[in-house]
Structure 1
Amino acid sequence: MLKNRSYVLGIGTGIIVGALLLQIMLVRASAPGQSRLALDEMDPKKLKEEAAKYYQVFDINTKMYTQAELDTTVQKKVQEETDKLAAAKSQEPTKVETVHRTVIYVQPNLDATAVAELLVKSGLITDRKAFASELVKQGGNTKLQVGFHVFEGQMDMEKVVTNLITSQ
């Protein structure tokens, strides 16, 4: 206990000082002659000013929404806007062709069967054997270029193989 004597003295002193400060605050709060007005004595304007120091004060005519009401109102507005957009889109001529672009990355040391599998998964070709025969026909079995290859729109087998064996 002798080792911790300074700590015990500090805690005791802190408790005593805290109690004294609390007593002083209580005496000050209940002191007569303070300038605080009771709520009954304030006129509405002064009451609003005092409340505005600590809270948000709104007029009684201001419409306040709950979260559920706000969500339903927002959903209605979103629905109206999507309907307007759909109506505007239906009036426009929709003769726009979209070009599908596919990008494939051929890694180093990738053989022709792995590249064929990549092309089948991406939807560029449907027949692996036809791709392999076209690759042999063009002599590109060992000439596949490493890197990114871009395929736009529908391409026949010859163009796919040419794209893969030529550098981009």
Structure 2
Amino acid sequence: MLKNRFFLMGLGFGIIAGALLLQMMVSVELKDRQFQTAALPSSLTDDELEEQAAERGLRLTKVEDKLYTQAELDIKVAETKKLNKPISVKEASTSGTPTHTVRSVYIPKGLDSATVSEILFEVGVIKDAAAFENLMTVKEANGKIQPGLKQFKGELSSQQIISIITKPQ
């Protein structure tokens, strides 16, 4: 008789403990749902939504904006560097005639003086690629070429061009 009594008491306490745990889980779940719906009201204007995002350290983008993964971005940058399309811009003076031309050239990492000389010749920064390459060798600037976007304004001497391409960004 005593055996059944302890069994029934244990069974009763187990049922009560299980019911309490179940009630606690349900109440926590309800609070989470209320918090999620209260945190983001659906009646925000665009400006209010941007402010809320900024407070949380987030940034909003438009649906039509193209987003890239890091791998896609690396591929796009590599393609752009391979094309290496120089930009030539004429700055106008007050009289309407161009005062000088600004040529921007991207120099990728790891190029030698021969390749840089060819690029600068194609863009029109220098007049003789071989002579410029020889001058770079004499000035020991071959290993000092710095990658990056370089701007050449107007007519520059060979020494000025060398200082621009060897100067870090």
TM range (shorter): 0.3 to 0.5
Higher strand content, 1 or 2: 2
Q: State TM-score, norm by structure 1.
A: 0.42
Larger Rg: 1
